[in-house]
Amino acid sequence: MKLADQLIQQLIDAGVERIYGVVGDSLNPIVDAVRASGGSAKGGIDWIHVRHEEVAAFAAAAEAQVTGKLAVCAGSCGPGNTHLVNGLYDAHRSGAPVLAIASHIPSAQIGTSYFQETHPDRLFA
């Protein structure tokens, strides 16, 4: 079982029904695992495509505030991650339980000034 499949199974076990995000190369394994889960109608997770990562974070924050349950958003590497910040700040200030899946560049490229390299570990600390 791949890491993305394990992550999606853990989210299903935690009661998560959807992930808000924008599809990007660095998120493809996650999106593939979501698709393979069969969607919430079959006990899996739905991918809710939004037009901007900031919307993904705010949508997850709103869901978490309304339901009190864990909600999830996802951002691709680089600017996709930075665009999550405003919505995550809102969730944090509201005490809403939101998990952000912040993808990263290929491991071998970390620290090489690779295109769209950010440091999610520092950005979301």
Report the CATH number at residue 97.
Answer: 3.40.50.970
Name which residue leads in pLDDT, 111 or 19. Answer: 19
DSSP for 38-97, please give it. Answer: T-GGGTS-EEEE-SSHHHHHHHHHHHHHHH-S-EEEEE-TTHHHHTTHHHHHHHHHHT--
Q: How many domains does the chain have?
A: 1
Helix (H) or strand (E) holding 29: helix 28-36
Q: What percent of the chain has a predicted confidence (pLDDT) above 70?
A: 82
pTM of this prediction? Answer: 0.87
> What is the extent of the structural domain holding 64?
3-123
Number of neighbours of residue 79 by Cβ within 10 angstroms: 13
For the stretch 48-90, pLDDT in tens is: 999 999 999 999 999 999 999 999 999 987 777 888 999 999 9
